[in-house]
Amino acid sequence: MDLEGIARRVQGERAKEIIVQWLDFYKGKRGDLNEKLADAVIKEVENSRKASKYEPKSSGIRAGDAGLGSRGIGDHLIHLKLFEISGRKPSTFDDAGVMEDVVVAVDGIHSRLSYFPFLAGFHATKACLRDVMVKGANPLGVIVDVHLADDADLSYLFDFEAGVSTVAEALGVSVLAGSTLRIGGDVVIGERISGGVGAIGKLGKKFLSRAKIREGMKIYMTRGNGGGTVSATAIYGGFPEVVEETLKVEELLVAKVVNERFIDKVEAMTDVTNGGIRGDALEVSEVSKVSFVIDEDEFLSMINRKVLDMFRELDVDPFGVSIDSLLIFSTLDELEEELGKAGVEVKEIGYVDRFKDYPILTTSGKRLEPRFRESPYTPVKKVIGNYSPYSMEELKRALDEASRVAIKRKEETLKNLKRGNV
């Protein structure tokens, strides 16, 4: 519960009343301390309004309504604006960046795993290491940033670190650095955790960028056992036994074998995470102007059987959700056989064709259209639905204006910095 947020939305005695109620709920009645704290929060907000010039100009659209973090078209549009603000060209949409021979990636914890910190740490670490490794890099270590709300038990912190270090040790890499803070300090109460894990790697013989994906390449897929998204689906969908299927690092070991022994036979690698293969195909098509053509049955056959059965039971679209498989792109017909001899299970699930009006189609010609959000995979997500209250035109206009203001602020501050250095 964001006490400062309450004071910003509600005025006067009503704000104090609500804040005290929440403090009583989480902290218990503590004499007049909760009332004094409520008064202090309200006073701080009043003071902060004097610094309003540093606040952002409202876009009028909330993060959830825009699809932020929901791994669909909305999220894609927002990422394009982040590229624009940072000055980075969206030339690859790769989840990892490269500078000379250093490859870096960062992944936030799955928001619905906040009450399951070991899983949150495990899967965030697996995700960022995978992002580095599928680009052809050898991971060197991870860095951690975790925030606990004021009422979170300290066991959450230790369980999170245990999840991180489990994956790190399994891959033989070190936890290099970290930061531990509270969410909102004293003005956010509750038990949630938030944060992320980053990975650093050294590039091998070549960078396996998505930008190298071209017409005529074959698409090979590894087993998809799931990660944070599948864990959340299992927990909140009532299939806790499926969580165990996600506690594997199989795809990391596959990437390691490819990088060490087959790098010359592979053109690109990516993982099936950003809203499922629908989302991955959308990002690749933006870069390379191609379409994926896949065999539905072959794709489904490479999803962990227990995970796939759960998807079917819960009516979750397996093409629109993260399953943590690897997609390996090559021009070689015999790659599946060669990897098999090395103990790596992959299956050819399709090929890359020229752009056919949609980023991804099936071999039978069915269009797997990109959606506003990833496939809803928990009861709450099913209630929210897969739509936005705004049209794409309205969303684009709001994003254009909000990013324009942010870029202007950036440019004005840079001018002052440069002026001060003269």
pLDDT for the residue numbered 90: 60
pLDDT for the residue numbered 92: 59
Please tell me whether residues 336 and 368 are part of one structural domain: yes
Q: Is residue 338 part of a domain?
A: yes
Whether residue 62 is predicted with pLDDT greater than 50 in this model: the reply is yes
Q: Is residue 222 part of a domain?
A: yes
Whether residue 422 is predicted with pLDDT greater than 60 in this model: the reply is no
Please tell me whether residues 156 and 215 are part of one structural domain: no
Please give the Cα distance from 196 to 144 (Å, whole number).
6
Count of other CB atoms within 10 angstroms of residue 213:
24
Please tell me whether residues 221 and 196 are part of one structural domain: no
Structure-block tokens of residue 227: 């990660």
Please tell me whether residues 227 and 325 are part of one structural domain: yes
Strands across the sheet with 290-294, in order?
268-271, 326-330, 218-222, 346-354, 290-294, 360-362
Domains in the chain, number? 3
- Give per-residue pLDDT as tens, 297-345: 999 999 999 999 999 999 999 999 999 999 999 999 999 999 999 999 9
Please tell me whether residues 162 and 228 are part of one structural domain: no
pLDDT for the residue numbered 267: 95
Strands across the sheet with 97-99, in order?
97-99, 102-108, 193-203, 137-148, 174-182
Please give the Cα distance from 122 to 228 (Å, whole number).
9
Q: Mean per-residue pLDDT for 167-189?
A: 95
Please tell me whether residues 168 and 275 are part of one structural domain: no
User: Do residues 220 and 327 touch, judged by C-beta distance below 8 A?
Assistant: yes
Q: Is residue 249 part of a domain?
A: yes
CATH number of the domain that residue 367 is part of: 3.90.650.10
Please give the Cα distance from 137 to 149 (Å, whole number).
35
pLDDT for the residue numbered 93: 65
Of 206, 225, 243, the position where a domain reaches its end is 206
Q: Which of the pair, 93 or 383, is modelled with greater confidence?
A: 383
Please tell me whether residues 252 and 358 are part of one structural domain: yes
- How large a percentage of the chain has pLDDT more than 90? 72
Question: Does the pTM exceed 0.85?
Answer: yes
pLDDT for the residue numbered 375: 86
- Give per-residue pLDDT as tens, 145-165: 999 999 999 999 999 999 999
CATH number of the domain that residue 190 is part of: 3.30.1330.10
Q: Is residue 96 part of a domain?
A: yes
User: Do residues 41 and 355 touch, judged by C-beta distance below 8 A?
Assistant: no
What are φ and ψ of residue 414, in 5° steps?
-65, -40
Please tell me whether residues 99 and 186 are part of one structural domain: yes
Q: Is residue 227 part of a domain?
A: yes
- Give per-residue pLDDT as tens, 66-110: 878 777 777 778 888 888 888 776 655 677 788 889 999 999 999
Please tell me whether residues 117 and 232 are part of one structural domain: no
Please tell me whether residues 230 and 342 are part of one structural domain: yes
pLDDT for the residue numbered 286: 83
Q: Is residue 406 part of a domain?
A: no
Q: Give me the torsion for CA of 158, 162, 163, 164, rounded to 10°.
A: 100
Q: What is the chain's mean pLDDT, rounded? A: 92
pLDDT for the residue numbered 99: 86
- Give per-residue pLDDT as tens, 354-380: 999 889 999 999 998 777 778 888 999
pLDDT for the residue numbered 358: 87
pLDDT for the residue numbered 126: 97
- Give per-residue pLDDT as tens, 215-235: 999 999 999 999 999 999 999
Please give the Cα distance from 42 to 160 (Å, whole number).
33
User: Do residues 2 and 194 touch, judged by C-beta distance below 8 A?
Assistant: no
Name the range with the highest mean pLDDT among 52-61, 111-120, 276-285: 111-120
Please tell me whether residues 176 and 231 are part of one structural domain: no
Q: Is residue 234 part of a domain?
A: yes
**First-last CA distance in the chain:** 46
Q: Is residue 396 part of a domain?
A: no
Whether residue 405 is predicted with pLDDT greater than 80 in this model: the reply is yes
Of 151, 180, 206, the position where a domain reaches its end is 206
Please tell me whether residues 168 and 191 are part of one structural domain: yes
Of 206, 224, 241, the position where a domain reaches its end is 206
Residue 181 lies in domain:
91-206
User: Do residues 163 and 120 touch, judged by C-beta distance below 8 A?
Assistant: yes
